[in-house]
Structure 1
Amino acid sequence: MKSGIVPFPLCAVTLFTLALTQHCGAIRWLALSETQEHINRTQQCKTLPGLVNSQSQLCRTHLELMQVVVQAAREVKKTCQKTFADMRWNCSSIDAPKYLPDLERGTRESAFVHALSAAAISHTIARACSNGDLRLCTCGPVPGDALEPGHRWGGCADNLHYGLSMGSKFSDAAMKMKKKTGLHPNKLMHLHNSEVGRQALKDALVMKCKCHGVSGSCSIRTCWRGLQDLKEIALDLKTKYLSAIRVKHHPTGTRKQLVPKDIDVRPVRENELVYLQSSPDFCTKNEKMGSIGTQDR
């Protein structure tokens, strides 16, 4: 059962949620999905919902990028809910800030949302470059690989390099902030899962071709590198969600790393989603655990 849209940011600032901002700060920017204003003035960067200071600074220096970021936030919300429409957990958490625990407790649901968010923002920026929606970037580079006879490089490739560069700066900003109170233990998990999302995006860069020739003969094919749709990337991440690995923090000298909780004989793989806490069953309503239940669905 989807909850109604609430016009204030995920991890909304109340006396209660002030204590949680470092828990889910990495995805607070998803609150931009609810903004209706067109972002064309640097003064707006101070009042946009869900942004940490470093994201507000990026907003001021890359103002043109912000409409694309808003679009990415909307894509995350729409794609996540569509991908999990047939599951007990249907990603309604992005629509209901008061049901935060399933996203801030370090569950596999949190892992999926962080991975999808990281992939979506870079995907949307890369596509905006190739569509000519941004003056900051152009088409992706022409590959140097030789093609088989009858094929040639052309068209406008999605600019994955720029998308990954700017997307990671924005989506990882909250996780890389240094706090006097120390770093939240979920930081390593969020950073790892965001990288998994970006790797899934890299894997979604495929060769696309368009036919040319007399009477549809397709004697020549013009090809370029383009990204698959976000829904395909979300399905890949859903598979990783279903096989996610529960991890624990393991001290290594003065640092910590994530290792499998039950199978600590190997390191965590770079393409595996990881989580720290078990999820509720999501069948029955449990606000404390972040479950809105499945009644009436």
Structure 2
Amino acid sequence: MHSIVHAAKLTKLTCRNTFTDMRWNCSSIENAPHFTPDLAKAEQAGPDFRWGGCGDNLRYGLQMGSAFSDAPMKNSRSGSQAFRLMHLHNNAVGRQSLVDAMETKCKCHGVSGSCSVKTCWKGLHDINHIAVDLKSKYLAATKVIHRHVGTRRQLVPREMDVRPVRESELVYLVSSPDYCTQNEKHGSFGTQDRQCNKTSNGSDSCNLMCCGRGYNAYTEKIIERCQCKYHWCCYVTCKKCERTVERYVCK
């Protein structure tokens, strides 16, 4: 239970940091469970589960994640089948991203840092690496329609409905709003008072982030480490310096 709560909080923080340069900055993730009724109903691990303590037990994590995130879609009797299929597909894409993020990690053991003995295990990439991968999938998501393919109704790409949806691509049925103004129904908090980058030409630029409304400038004093020196052996000392920076926020 504690691991789930910690993972959920870390996911929220990472999502916000990853999308901080976009109008939609993962604000709707606040609609995620608050770890009381939903998690209290979660099933306990089966008797066949054994934690070896050597690597990340991804299989069990995926099983639990699937049961938790897919259950509302599979058990729901409301809403359209198309939206249920979309959510189930995107959940599966997220889990596959974790599978793809597994790597072999090793640690050396020996005198004075030698590698006479090496211990290796399977572990996940850093969560920020996984978040960047998911963001790239989000930006390249495919718009789909729900129609008959043979005897079944399936999700197929709207522009290229001759091929099935790939298992590695995120999909959506309805285009997102522009997220310029607050709309809780669509998970948009708007961009008023959001920080922007005056010199950028990307999605974090003041022109795009502020949706043409303009921006306000203010100065802020920050304390940072400076004039750092390395001392043998083995520590670093730094001074604290004050610097004034200019910030910009959307009107």
Normalised by the size of structure 2, how large is the TM-score? 0.65
Give the partner amino acid of 1:273. L
Shift of 1:221: 1.5
User: Against the structure 1 CA distance between its residues 240 and 138, is the aligned structure 2 distance closer, same or farther, given a 3 Å change threshold?
Assistant: same
Q: Percent identity?
A: 63
The structure with the greater share of residues assigned to helix is: 1
- Work out the CA distance in 2 between the residues paired with 1:185 and 1:255: 12
Shift of 1:253: 5.1
Give the partner amino acid of 1:233. I
* Ranges in structure 1 where 5+ consecutive residues have no aligned partner: 1-65, 98-112, 114-120, 122-128, 130-135, 141-155
- Work out the CA distance in 1 between the residues paired with 2:147 and 2:60: 34
Q: How many equivalent residue pairs?
A: 181
Could you say which residue in structure 1 is the equivalent of 2:154? 257
- Could you tell me which of 83, 86, 90 is aligned with 2:18? 83
Could you say which residue in structure 1 is the equivalent of 2:69? 171
CA contact (8 A) 2:180 2:191 kept: yes
CA contact (8 A) 1:197 1:237 kept: yes
- Aligned residue for 1:282, secondary structure, equals coil
- Aligned residue for 1:186, secondary structure, equals helix
Shift of 1:217: 1.7
Shift of 1:71: 2.4
CA contact (8 A) 1:200 1:233 kept: yes
Shift of 1:67: 2.9
The structure with the greater share of residues assigned to strand is: 2
Give the partner amino acid of 1:219. S
User: Against the structure 1 CA distance between its residues 163 and 288, is the aligned structure 2 distance closer, same or farther, given a 3 Å change threshold?
Assistant: closer
Greater Cα shift, 165-174 or 266-275: 165-174
Shift of 1:78: 1.3
Could you say which residue in structure 2 is the equivalent of 1:283? 180
Alignment of 1:80-159 (within 5 A): 80-95=15-30, 137-139=50-52, 156-159=54-57
Shift of 1:286: 4.2
CA RMSD of aligned residues (A): 2.6
- Work out the CA distance in 2 between the residues paired with 1:167 and 1:83: 21
User: Against the structure 1 CA distance between its residues 291 and 178, is the aligned structure 2 distance closer, same or farther, given a 3 Å change threshold?
Assistant: closer
User: Against the structure 1 CA distance between its residues 178 and 223, is the aligned structure 2 distance closer, same or farther, given a 3 Å change threshold?
Assistant: same
- Work out the CA distance in 2 between the residues paired with 1:296 and 1:203: 37
Shift of 1:254: 5.2
- Aligned residue for 2:90, secondary structure, equals helix
Shift of 1:169: 1.3
Shift of 1:182: 6.8
- Aligned residue for 2:82, secondary structure, equals coil
| Residue-by-residue CA offset, 1:197-233 (whole Å, 9 max, x unaligned) | 0110001110000011222121322111011122211
